[in-house]
A = this chain, B = another copy of it.
Amino acid sequence: MEYYEDLEPGSEREIGRHFVSREEIIRFAEQWDPQPFHLDDAAAEASVFGTLTASSCHIYSISALIFSKNPSRLRAAAMMGTEIRFPAPLRPEDTLTLIECCLEKRRSRSRRGYGVVKGRSTLRNQEGRDVCVMDTTYLVECRDPDGDD
């Protein structure tokens, strides 16, 4: 397990990858975001992107899925907020790589034993384009509740 003390601001690392099939895009959209351009090729052709694209909540869920499969797990206790951008669409047969970077960290003033961490997670496709950039603030457990780093 990884604790607050293990995070080093500025350091980047690859967390994992996920291949996105056409079936997965449609299945997720059917359940949670059934808009025509996530479901149907003809409707998607007439959309801004011209092809089938994944729902933004699907993209966000993929980041959670990759994190959950990462064996070196951060002791994150709660997510406090996130700012998400979708610079490029996610299309069928894309492979996304999740890259994480700790931007800044400090000990929590109100919750002893926790740190407040701001991190950037980026989902990048096989062409090197960023599909999703998330700047997230979360609570992370400290190994030493009384440390002063």
Contact = CB atoms under 8 A, between A and B. Distances in A.
A100 B49 CA distance: 26
B84 A61 contact: no
Chain A, interface SS category? mixed
A35 B76 CA distance: 10
A136 to B, nearest CB: 9
Given A80-B86, A84-B83, A85-B81, A68 B139 contact: no
Interface string A47-83: 1110000011100111111011000000001111111
Interface of A: 31-35, 47-49, 55-57, 60-65, 67-68, 77-86, 89, 111, 114, 139
